Amino acid sequence: MIITPTKRQQDVLYSDLRKDMLLSPVNSDVSRYTDEDSVKESIKNLLLTDTGERLFNPSLGSNIRRMLFENILYPETRYIIKESIGTAITNFEPRAILQAVTALPDYDRNAYEVKIEFYVVNTPTELVDMSVLLERLR
C-alpha cells in the first residue's frame, strides 16, 4: 500500500463576499476576498460610508465626504481627513492594526491620495499598504 501525501490548502483567516457578485471560475460559486484583500476592501467601504448611513449601526462611518468640499489649500483639512480615517479604522475594523495614515492633496484633481499602512491581526509580520483616491463627486 502506497500512501501519497496530499497537498494541504492554505488556511484562510478572513473571508468576505465581493460586492460585484462575480462567480468563481473554479467552482461556479460567488467569489470572495480573502485575508488581507478582505481587510482592504472593508477599510475602503468604511472610508466611503458616511456616519448615519447604516440604519442599524448609525455610528459606523467616517464622514470624510464632507471634508472633500473644504478648501484643499488649508493644511487643517488634510489633518482632519487623516485623523478621521485613523479613528474610523481603529474603532470599526478590528482585523487591522493601524500603523500610519498619510493624506496627500492632489491639487490638479482637487482630491486626496490617502495611503494607509496596517498589519492584519493574525499575520502581524507583513505590513500591508493600500491607497485610496478620495475625490468629491458633484
Per-residue pLDDT tens digits for 38-48? 788 889 889 88
How much is the pTM?
A: 0.77
Positive/negative CA dihedral, 68, 72, 74, 79: positive
Residue 133 to residue 112: CA distance in whole angstroms: 6
CB 103 within 8 A of CB 78: yes
| Per-residue pLDDT at 31 | 64
| Per-residue pLDDT at 121 | 85
| Per-residue pLDDT at 7 | 42
Per-residue pLDDT tens digits for 45-98? 898 888 888 888 888 888 888 888 888 888 899 999 999 999 999 999 998 999
Q: What is the dihedral of CA 108, 133, 56, 91, to 10 degrees?
A: -110
Q: Position of cell 475594523?
A: 93
Residue range 14-23: mean pLDDT, rounded: 66
Residue 36 to residue 58: CA distance in whole angstroms: 26
- Name the average pLDDT for the chain: 81
| Per-residue pLDDT at 1 | 53
| Per-residue pLDDT at 5 | 47
Structural domains in the chain? 18-135 (3.10.450.40)
